[in-house]
Amino acid sequence: MKRIPFLDSHTGGEPTRLITSLPFDLGTGSVADKLSTLKKNHDDLRRTVLLEPRGSDVLVGAYLVPPADPTCQFGVIYFNNVGYLGMCGHGTIGLIASLAYLGKVQPGVIRVETPVGVVEATLHKNEAGEYPNKVSVQNIPAYRHLTHVPVTVDGKTIHGDVAWGGNWFFLCHDHGLEVNMQNLEALTEFSWRVREQFTANGITGANGAEVDHVELFASTPEADSKSFVLCPGKAYDRSPCGTGTSAKLACLYEDGKLQEGQIWKQQSVVGSIFEGSIQIQDNRIIPTITGEAWVMSEGTILVDERDPFGSGI
């Protein structure tokens, strides 16, 4: 019987399953190198940890790994039901809050190496709670790659920007759909068809990178914007999406609608809110996302070698 300890948290409703110790060695290279080794030799662990029958499509996982960058305290690899993520904003907030719960970090700045670069997380003091759970993540540089790209779905032409915030996004405002919990099925199916269509049209990120997230925006009286984010495995993001909000902030800045240091409140389809802002450093847009995460369960995954579905469905 194999045993894999885990700690689950959620950030704005979106879960993160933290695995603090891997049962194999990924070498001494960068976190990006470790990810390459993981994909090649150990992808079965991702399926075991996240997929049914013990997981679900909405779960996002985080492997804690040693960083190669000497300025970083931790390295992390994020993964989901279909593969791996370059960065994960809600996951980083969940990671830091989980490490605080475990007593591995104290309030202050924590540098984390991801496969796409180093991020700085600030764990805020919380005098009232059992453990600090509010985190600000200074992300890697974000930017807009393509502007106002037309995509036609079911005879209707919409437009979107292609932007990078740690993952690639197609961000759309003129979709005409209501962004609320009562409309999840229509939002999911429409977003998936949009993704299929822009992929068929050859719309990509930089260097031909796959654009695998779709983000639909709407107005709301409760924040500056409300969004529905469809992730690569066809599960919607319960949080406002940290990398998606980073991409959104870059587009707003490029359009002259956001100033340096100005707070932007981004609401998710379930109602949770991230606060975002940007700094300009060396002509690059550096987003910072702030949110709260809550530890909600801990335990041990058991893998019986006799189980035909032990490695997931």
Contact 62, 50 (CB under 8 A): no
Q: Please, are residues 100 and 125 in contact by the beta-carbon 8 Å criterion? A: no
Q: Is 241 a catalytic residue?
A: yes
Which residues make Cβ contacts (< 8 Å) with residue 40, sequence separation at least 6? Answer: none
Q: Shortest CA distance to 293 belongs to which of 233, 238, 245, 235?
A: 238
Which member of 72, 172, 231, 241 is catalytic? 241
Angle 38-41-43 from CA coordinates, rounded to 5°: 60
Beta strand pairing status for 225-230 and 264-267? parallel
Known catalytic residue at 172? no
- CB contact set of 103 (below 8 Å; sequence gap of 6+): none
* Helix-strand-coil split of the chain, %, nearest 5: 20, 40, 40
Among 72, 88, 172, 251, the one annotated catalytic: 88
Just list the catalytic residues: 88, 241
